[in-house]
């Protein structure tokens, strides 16, 4: 979550949050579990986790009985990366910007991106999604899974939660900006990705939307 247009999303800002960030990871856990379930990376896959932060996705992935041959966690904040902890052999972290990932074209079969896109301005979201498209290449196994805060506005309760998330994010962007609800479906399509799976998780943590997509 360390790239964005606002001052609250600078590398220095996220370095400053590194010590307390793990305290809220339990609120992300259910959505991350769903993301890994539909990403379904196996031993034949290479995985890149964008905005890996303190490594919640990588640690959850390492606990799975089936896990990818290689995994790279990319984040702009060196202090966040310093809290990732030990990783399986052949896994690593890389300090880098999700808009300009320091990895070659076609480097991976699976990209995961959890709780980053809602922090970005629309043009920056497009740049990140185009980077995922570049990293994935055109292999038959290529897939992207993104997680964003979201609530179903089709129900009274969902509309209430959706409004509350937006209100908190706008009132206190430094503390609650990461809760800004976002459905990135249209932006995925604009970046050349075709959504194939969609999971809405209204409770058990942050209200979240999980989308799997493949290159068009």
Distance CA 199, CA 143 (A): 16
156 band by pLDDT with thresholds 50, 70 and 90: confident
Closest CA to 191 of 132, 140, 148: 132
What residues are paired with 200 via a beta bridge?
209
Query: Any bridge partners for residue 113, and if so which?
Result: 50, 146
How is residue 177 written in tokens? 């900006």
pLDDT of 72 reads 98
Q: How many CB atoms lie within 10 A of CB 131?
A: 22
Mean pLDDT calculated for residue range 105-112? 96
Pairing of strands 208-215, 46-50: unpaired
pLDDT at 6: 38
C-alpha radius of gyration, the chain, whole number:
16
CA 122 to chain CA centroid, nearest Å: 16
Residue 14, pLDDT score: 65
Tally of CA atoms within 13 A in the half-sphere of 54 that contains its CB: 16
According to the CATH classification, is domain 7-215 in 3.40.50.300? Answer: no
pLDDT the model gives residue 212: 98
Q: Is 169 helix (H, G, I), strand (E, B) or coil?
A: helix
Q: Is the pTM of this model over 0.85?
A: yes
Q: How confident is the model at residue 173 (pLDDT cuts 50, 70, 90)?
A: confident
pLDDT band at 174 (very low <50, low <70, confident <90, very high): confident
* DSSP codes joined into one string, 26-50: GGTHHHHHHHHHHH---TT-EEEEE
Q: CB within 8 A of 93, min separation 6: which ones?
A: 52, 55, 58, 72, 73, 74, 75, 81, 84, 87
Instruction: Report domain extents, the chain.
Output: 7-215
- Check pLDDT > 70 for residue 2: no
| Contacts with 31 (C-beta within 8 Å, 6 or more apart), sequence order | 114, 147, 201, 205, 206, 208, 210
Task: Assess whether pLDDT exceeds 60 at residue 3.
Answer: no
With cut-offs at 50, 70 and 90, classify the pLDDT of residue 11. Answer: low
């Amino acid at each position: 979550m360390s790239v964005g247009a606002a001052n609250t999303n600078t590398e220095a800002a996220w370095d400053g949050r590194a010590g307390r960030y793990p305290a809220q990871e339990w609120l992300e856990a259910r959505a991350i579990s769903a993301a890994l379930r539909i990403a379904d990376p196996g031993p034949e896959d290479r995985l890149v986790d964008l905005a890996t932060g303190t490594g919640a996705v990588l640690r959850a992935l390492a606990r799975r009985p089936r896990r990818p041959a290689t995994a790279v966690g990319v984040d702009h904040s060196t202090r966040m990366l310093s809290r990732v902890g030990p990783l399986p052999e052949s896994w690593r972290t890389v300090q880098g910007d999700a808009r300009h990932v320091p990895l070659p074209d076609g480097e991976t079969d699976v990209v995961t991106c959890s709780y980053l896109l809602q922090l970005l301005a629309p043009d920056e979201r497009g740049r990140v999604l185009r980077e995922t498209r570049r990293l994935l290449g055109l292999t038959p196994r290529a897939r992207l899974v993104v997680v964003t805060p979201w609530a179903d506005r089709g129900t009274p309760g969902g509309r209430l939660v959706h409004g509350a998330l937006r209100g908190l994010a706008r009132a206190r962007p430094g503390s609650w900006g990461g809760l800004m609800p976002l459905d990135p479906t249209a932006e995925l399509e604009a970046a050349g990705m075709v959504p194939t799976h969609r999971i809405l998780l209204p409770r058990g943590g942050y209200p979240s939307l999980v989308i799997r997509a493949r290159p068009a």
